[in-house]
Structure 1
Amino acid sequence: MVVIGLGRFGSALARELVNRGTEVLGIDNRPKLVQSLVGQIPHVTTADSTDIEALRQLGVADFHRAVVAIGTDIQASILTTSLLSDLGIPDIWAKAISAQHSNILTRVGAHHVVAPEHDMGERVAHLLTGRILDYVEVDADFAVIKTKPPRDVVGVPLRESRLRSRWGVTVVAVKPQAAIGGQQPGFTHATPDTVLTYGDLILVVGAIDNVERFAATE
């Protein structure tokens, strides 16, 4: 995998990929930054990613996946993404810093666009309101949340709780509050026969408005 742009986001991504056993080529146009990452990222080099010949010489076209993690230089971000598309990279991920930036990246060839600051801001906002303990948006209008069950669904099998008809959500996993055999249990798949108790942690999926409404129920 190629990671282009080794600022805080790009370098953290590259190091984590390396730790997970992925072969990574890191590219940045700042020699001092690249030098500081030698030893952390096995294959890291200084190059101008807006120069298609430089990308060709580095063998970027041979990679299946590339990430454009360039930060505030929007022009370089867009041009790099366009050149990767020209090189035929089949899976291009790009970091955006605004909605307009995201739209342009998609138009010039990015297959996936991420907005770390925006996404984190939304996630924290959800955690700061209501009873949501964790929140992951998996599509434009769909999310998974971690929360505790409201009073209305405690003590009855899930099949009798009418979750879908009342809130439009589904409980997919549960972590019991009480220890079992002296050990604290982890999450297990929920079934129609699962009976929730106060203090359990549950994973709930559904449309964003629905999971938020469910989490706000006492």
Structure 2
Amino acid sequence: MKRDYAVIGLGRFGGSICQELNQEGMQVLAIDKDEDKINEFKNIASHAVMADSTDEATLRELGIKNIDHVIVAIGDNIQASILTTVVLTDLNIKKITVKAQNDYHEKILNRIGAHQVVHPERDMGKRIARNIISNNILDYLELSDDHSIVEVKVGERMRGKTLVDLDIRANYGCNVVAIKQEKDINVSPAADDVLEEGDILIIIGSDKDISRFEKNLVID
């Protein structure tokens, strides 16, 4: 189902989201106060407008109330980010995602009604750090403050063993939710499935438990 999106703030983060949504065939309204940014994205977004997102009347005129999901990707101007989020909340936007600069900014955004708050730099830092630690850690996604989902490649320590042999849930408190094998993905892995080197496990659990699992079975 095609949805309408608005991206407010066309810096590196907002611009990247705008481009990806466009490539997926979504309708995207791009908003920024910088005319150069608008000119850059006028042929990428469905509609690119130079406007002040803290002005409720302006957003109303742009038809923001008809947008399914608004992403506030304003860069260093925390005040503008907060005021924009307040306006969007007052307009009862269905889904508001906001980029936070720090934990205090996130706390304010949550209190004023943001539905989702993201820390792209912090989250990417965690992903890169885990990949640096081991080439077998392919991806990492934070689900909450203390729970995550991670993709790990089966290496020497797990090769030739079954899920029963490893008993990951009992030993580490993590759950294997799927196994990728070449082009196939098994979302209901059998306990006696033998793991081959190069298989990818998708594991969910608390950060503490995932860390123990990685240290004992993943990191070389």
> What TM-score, normalized by structure 2, do the two folds share?
0.87
Query: Match for residue 116 of structure 2?
Result: 112
| 1:124-163 alignment runs, 5 A limit | 124-130=128-134, 131-149=136-154, 153-163=158-168
SS at match of 1:44: strand
Query: Match for residue 183 of structure 2?
Result: 186
Equivalent pair of 1:15/1:41 in contact (CA under 8 Å): yes
CA distance in 1, matches of 2:68, 2:199: 43
Query: Structure 1 119/160 Cα, relative in aligned 2: closer, same or farther at 3 Å?
Result: same
Aligned residues with identical type, % of pairs: 40
SS at match of 1:67: strand
Equivalent pair of 1:150/1:215 in contact (CA under 8 Å): no
Q: 1:205 Cα deviation (Å)?
A: 2.1
> In the alignment, residue 216 of structure 2 is paired with which amino acid?
T
Is 1:97–2:96 an aligned residue pair? no
Is 1:205–2:204 an aligned residue pair? yes
> In the alignment, residue 4 of structure 1 is paired with which amino acid?
I
Query: Match for residue 43 of structure 1?
Result: 47
> In the alignment, residue 163 of structure 1 is paired with which amino acid?
I
Q: 1:35 Cα deviation (Å)?
A: 1.2
Query: Structure 1 214/47 Cα, relative in aligned 2: closer, same or farther at 3 Å?
Result: same
Query: Match for residue 179 of structure 1?
Result: none
Q: Which residues of structure 2 form unaligned runs of 5+?
A: none
> In the alignment, residue 130 of structure 2 is paired with which amino acid?
H
Q: Which has the larger radius of gyration?
A: 1
Equivalent pair of 1:152/1:161 in contact (CA under 8 Å): no
Q: 1:29 Cα deviation (Å)?
A: 0.9
SS at match of 2:124: helix
CA distance in 2, matches of 1:139, 1:26: 29
| 1:162-173 alignment runs, 5 A limit | 162-173=167-178
Equivalent pair of 2:155/2:198 in contact (CA under 8 Å): no
Q: 1:155 Cα deviation (Å)?
A: 3.1
CA distance in 1, matches of 2:95, 2:199: 40
Query: Structure 1 stretches (4+) deviating beyond 6 angstroms?
Result: none
Q: 1:86 Cα deviation (Å)?
A: 0.9
> In the alignment, residue 141 of structure 2 is paired with which amino acid?
V
CA distance in 2, matches of 1:123, 1:211: 14
> Deviations along 1:150-175, whole A, 9 cap, x unmatched?
66654343234322111112223334
Find 1:76's aligned residue among 77, 80, 83.
Answer: 80
> Deviations along 1:20-50, whole A, 9 cap, x unmatched?
1211111111112101211111211111111
Query: Structure 1 148/25 Cα, relative in aligned 2: closer, same or farther at 3 Å?
Result: closer
Q: Which residues of structure 1 form unaligned runs of 5+?
A: 177-184
> What TM-score, normalized by structure 1, do the two folds share?
0.87
> In the alignment, residue 205 of structure 2 is paired with which amino acid?
G
Is 1:121–2:118 an aligned residue pair? no
- Give aligned pairs, total: 210
Query: Match for residue 71 of structure 2?
Result: 67
Q: 1:140 Cα deviation (Å)?
A: 2.1
